[in-house]
Each structure stands twice: as C-alpha cells, then as structure tokens.
Amino acid sequence: MNTAYSWGDSFNSSDANCNINFGQTRDVGKYQANAWGFFDMHGNVWEWTADWYGSYSSASVIDPEGSASGSYRVGRGGSWNDGGAYLRSAWRGNDAPSYRGNSSGFRVGFQKQ
C-alpha cells in the first residue's frame, strides 16, 4: 500500500480519532480496518515501537531497521491530541522509554497459528 493513510492520500478526520474529533481516546474498533485487517492505525494513541529513534538511510527501504541503540523510542500513528499530518504511519514521533501519558499506548501483535 503506497498511500499516506490506510484509506488513501487525503486526510479525512472522520476516519481517525484526532484533535478535531472527541478530545480523548475512544474504544478500539470504532474506525474501519485497513487492508490487513488492523483497526485504528491512525490516531487514538501513539503506538510505541521497538525501534530506537535515529536517522534512516536516504535511500528508499522497505521495513527499515532503526538504530541499534539510543535514548528515545519511536511512536507511530499519532493520537487523539494530534492533527492529520502526525497520523500517518510513516511519521515517527519519539519519547524517552520512561515517558507515560494519556496519548501513548502499544499494540500487541502475534502471528495466528
């Protein structure tokens, strides 16, 4: 999928929980799933990743690996408190691993057997 958002390239506030909607988190599954069946990939809460924040290569890479170490972890997807530009999965936010707040969370993923 080569679009800015899972629904296309144009931001549509009705497709994600962001700063112009509810002013707080929402229950999971309130928005349409993407092509892979994942719900709420944009907005609601920033999702912590295992990647350390650092520079990427300037070359186009599929599934780039982050830095081997660092001071900040990457968050993706934006939150209920962010505008549309931050809701792209390609946008990388960063915070210290000790950060706690009402706009961050995580997604448990597993491969179905």
What is the model's pTM? 0.79
Tokens for 53?
Answer: 């924040």
Q: 67-104 pLDDT, tens per residue? A: 889 999 999 999 999 999 899 878 899 999 999 999 99
Identify the residue whose tokens are 């909607």.
Answer: 21
Q: 31-56 pLDDT, tens per residue? A: 888 888 888 889 999 999 889 998 87
Looking at the domain that runs over 1-113, which CATH code has it been given?
Answer: 3.90.1580.10
DSSP assignment of 8-40 equals: BSS--GGGSB-TTTTSS---TT-S---TTS---
In which order are the strands placed within the sheet that holds 73-76? 92-95, 73-76, 46-52, 104-105
pLDDT at 21: 79
> How would residue 1 be classed by pLDDT, with cut points 50, 70 and 90?
low
Residue 3, pLDDT above cutoff 70: yes
